Amino acid sequence: MTKKIVVITGANSGLGLETAKYFISTGNIVVMAVRDVIKGETAKQKLLQLFPKGNMDVLYLDLTKLSSVHAFVGEFKQKYNNLDLLINNAGVMIPPFTKTEDGFELQFGANHLGHFALTGLLLPLLEKSTAPRVVTLSSIAHRNGIINFDNLDGSNGYKAMKFYSQSKLANLLFAKELDDRLKRNNFKTISLAAHPGISSTNLFKLGKEKNPWYIKPLMNLFAQSAEKGALPTIMAATDTKLAGGEYIGPDGKGNRKGNPAIEVPNKNVYQKETMERLWEISEQLTSVRYDFSLNKPLSS
């Protein structure tokens, strides 16, 4: 890939920054979609030190606010006519119980619903490209996830890790359902999912400014670097042998570490009834409706 337009959410740190570094190094235009523009600009300057000719743009995007998602897409459309690659990377992990301004539980709202809306609104621009892709980041935590449709907002009880797992399962189901719908309606865009295994990133601050003293040695024992953790995302985004619908993760024990490879989720993960219900509820909650009927990607 060269001279492609790439949007990466949460591109100012961790996996997003490592992913941005790769696409900048290979001559692409990277739009860093970030919640903190100052941190985004700082990250951009660091990347320009590595790649003086790098082409980067920092745009504000807060996935916890649907108004921000719409505003980001509007700003993007003013600057760009098409989009080659969307990487839904940003995420929050195990925060205290919080609701977004739209009334969503924070993790489900930011990790899933924000990206669901963003993808739908950008899909028309993706279809204008030659070989467009959407890559959505899930997690091995999806294995413990259940979509509890009766308590999506956490009002009937909240456990941080349980809701994180639910949001990451939602990411995986969304990526697969999106690809199924794209294929059924003869879209050029394909959708894939990826996960970093266990990577040492700022997600592991456990909601605090500093980790407890014992976290770092544990991370060194079980985790891989953010640079290595970004490789499944990069493979999902660039490997021309992939047809869409695949899930890419590390190939080591428990898929916690290793080199990127196609991973097959447990056979009970892709439950069509759950996937379709999640899609319908996501459209209702975000008021972003994908319209595939006439190959027009969106009506909202």
Radius of gyration (C-alpha) of the chain in whole angstroms: 18
pLDDT band, very low/low/confident/very high, at 22 (cuts 50, 70, 90): very high
Residue 164 has pLDDT above 90, yes or no: yes
pLDDT in tens, 73-91: 999 999 999 999 999 999 9
Residue 134 has pLDDT above 50, yes or no: yes
Distance (Å, whole) CA 66 – CA 87:
18
Active site residue 214: no
Q: Which of 22, 164, 247, 290 is catalytic?
A: 164
CB atoms within 10 A of CB 140: 18
Burial of 251 (0-12, 13-18, 19+ CB in 10 A): middle
Name the region of 201 (left: φ>0; alpha: ψ -120 to 50; beta: rest): beta
Could you give the dihedral angle defined by the CA atoms of residues 51, 56, 59 and 61, in that order, rounded to the nearest 10 degrees?
A: -70
Residue 22 CA: distances (Å) to CA of 19, 76, 235, 241, 252: 5, 21, 11, 19, 22
Q: Which domains does the chain have, with CATH numbers?
A: 5-299 (3.40.50.720)
User: Which pTM does this prediction carry?
Assistant: 0.91
Region 269-275 average pLDDT: 97
Residue 236 CA: distances (Å) to CA of 56, 139, 297: 21, 14, 22
